[in-house]
């Protein structure tokens, strides 16, 4: 008797499944097609990005290898093109190469390129903070207090590993402007940073003990 009930119950479940598949045939097909298209799109985009990365890498390496006094303008234009592609690896490297080799003399143009990296490129947070810090270094000699603070504020208000670097830059900036009180404030802030760079911490303590002690 129990076996008969089990068989009937099993047959009922099979029948229900058949009916469900029959009644929802179109919906099931649409769902399956959608899943297949999503997977194809995902892997297609991934493959496209991978190929794009390789192409940008080849373009960057070619520009660097072929760089010479005779190819300065060509190299500059190729690196500018890479920066505008907003690649997370090769766009920053391209800007550093332009700066290190003095391929662009206009400060405003350099700052615009920094802004493309900072504001328009999908960088990891710490990489973005590093680029902000490099922008501040690039501008430090000729910037006003407000301009330098505006550049560095995103780092100062964060818990970034570059925070102590930013504070040290500001402390030195004010020290060499002979604004000792402001300088001391920023040095003291470094001492309170949990993940401060140890070399910067040592230099800070030296400066406070040697030049800014009460």
Q: 106-151: per-residue pLDDT in tens?
A: 999 999 999 999 999 999 999 999 999 999 999 999 899 999 999 9
Predicted confidence (pLDDT) at residue 83 exceeds the cutoff of 90: yes
12 vs 164 pLDDT, higher one:
164
Token code pair at residue 14: 């099979």
CB neighbour burial string for 97-122, b if at least 16 within 10 angstroms, e if fewer = bbbeeebbeeeeebeebbebbbeebe
Quote the Cα angle for 22-25-26, to 5°. Answer: 150
pLDDT digits (tens, 9 = 90+) for 169-184: 999 999 999 999 999 9
Give the per-residue pLDDT at 63: 94
Per-residue pLDDT averaged across 195-205, rounded?
A: 94
The residue ranking higher by pLDDT, 88 or 17, is 88
Cβ–Cβ < 8 Å for 176, 207: no
Dist. CA 100–CA 67, nearest whole Å = 13
Q: Which of 3-12, 16-25, 196-205 has the highest mean pLDDT?
A: 196-205
pLDDT, mean over the chain = 86
HSE-up (13 A, CA, CB side) for residue 86: 10
Residue with token string 């780092």: 155
% of residues, the chain, pLDDT over 70? 76
Radius of gyration over alpha carbons of the chain, in Å?
30
CA-CA distance, 184 to 212, in Å (whole number)?
A: 7
Q: Is the pLDDT of residue 5 over 70?
A: no
In whole angstroms, what is the distance from residue 93 CA to residue 98 CA? Answer: 9
Q: Look up residue 199 and give its DSSP letter.
A: H
Cα angle 146, 122, 79 (rounded to 5 degrees) comes to 85
Distance separating alpha carbons of residues 132 and 116, to the nearest angstrom: 11
pLDDT at 36 over 80: no
* Residue 34: predicted pLDDT: 66
| Residues 142, 139: Cα–Cα separation, whole Å | 6
At 53 the pLDDT is 78
What is d(CA 45, CA 92) in angstroms, rounded to the nearest whole number? Answer: 23
Is the pLDDT reported for residue 74 higher than 60? yes
């Amino acid at each position: 008797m129990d076996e008969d009930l089990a068989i009937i119950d099993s047959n009922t479940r099979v029948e229900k499944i058949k009916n469900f598949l029959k009644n929802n045939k179109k919906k099931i097909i649409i769902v399956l097609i959608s899943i297949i298209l999503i997977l194809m799109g995902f892997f297609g985009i991934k493959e496209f990005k991978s190929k794009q990365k390789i192409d940008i890498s080849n373009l960057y390496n070619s520009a660097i290898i072929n760089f010479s006094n005779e190819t300065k303008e060509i190299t500059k234009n190729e690196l500018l093109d890479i920066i505008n592609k907003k690649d997370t690896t090769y766009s920053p490297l391209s800007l550093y190469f332009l700066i290190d080799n003095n391929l662009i003399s206009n400060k405003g143009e350099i700052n615009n390129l920094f802004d493309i990296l900072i504001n328009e490129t999908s960088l990891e947070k710490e990489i973005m903070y590093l680029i902000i810090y490099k922008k501040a270094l690039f501008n430090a000699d000729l910037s006003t207090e407000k301009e330098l603070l505006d550049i560095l504020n995103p780092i100062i208000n964060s818990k970034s590993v570059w925070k102590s670097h930013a504070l040290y830059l500001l402390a030195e900036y004010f020290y060499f402007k002979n604004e000792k009180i402001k300088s001391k404030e920023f040095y003291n802030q470094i001492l309170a940073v949990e993940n401060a760079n140890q070399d910067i911490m040592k230099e800070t303590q030296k400066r406070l003990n040697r030049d800014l002690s009460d």
